[in-house]
Amino acid sequence: MASIFAFRTRSPDRDRETDVTRFEQLARSLDQLTSEIDAERTGIRNRYEAVSANAAFLVEAMDNSEASSRRADDMDRWTESLKTCLRRIEALGRQTEFIAGLRHALDTFVDESRKADEGSSAASAPEEVRHRP
């Protein structure tokens, strides 16, 4: 028969180490997501600039009668592509803001938890340790 008095708890230091590891992993994941979004946004901006340049050259060529009006289909496709790029860049901006908010919440939570742990450690310390000059 097992005694109920044999119950043991984990060390508070071990709990803190586990928490630190867990929240560091979450922070790395959020940083990774931010990097992926930044890379995608850079690629889309580069595409946007290339399509914009092509469209500008085509408009100039059409104005100078150097390109046929059949190229208007190209212009329509490029215009839609530019709109799509702008919508995606906007969506990525919202994602970046969301992840930044998550990161801020994580940092705040970790900081508050650390302060609470320090406060509870100080409160449980012997009287002479808490009041040292």
pTM: 0.72
Residue 85 CB neighbours (<10 A): 19
Given a cut of 50, is residue 48 above it in pLDDT? Answer: yes
Model pLDDT for residues 76-112, shown as the tens digit of each residue: 888 999 999 999 999 999 999 999 999 999 999 999 9
- What pLDDT is stored for residue 123 in this prediction? 60
Q: Give the pLDDT band (50/70/90) at residue 121.
A: low
Average pLDDT over residues 36-54: 95
Residue 20 has pLDDT above 50, yes or no: yes
Q: Beta-carbon neighbour count of residue 83 at 10 Å?
A: 10
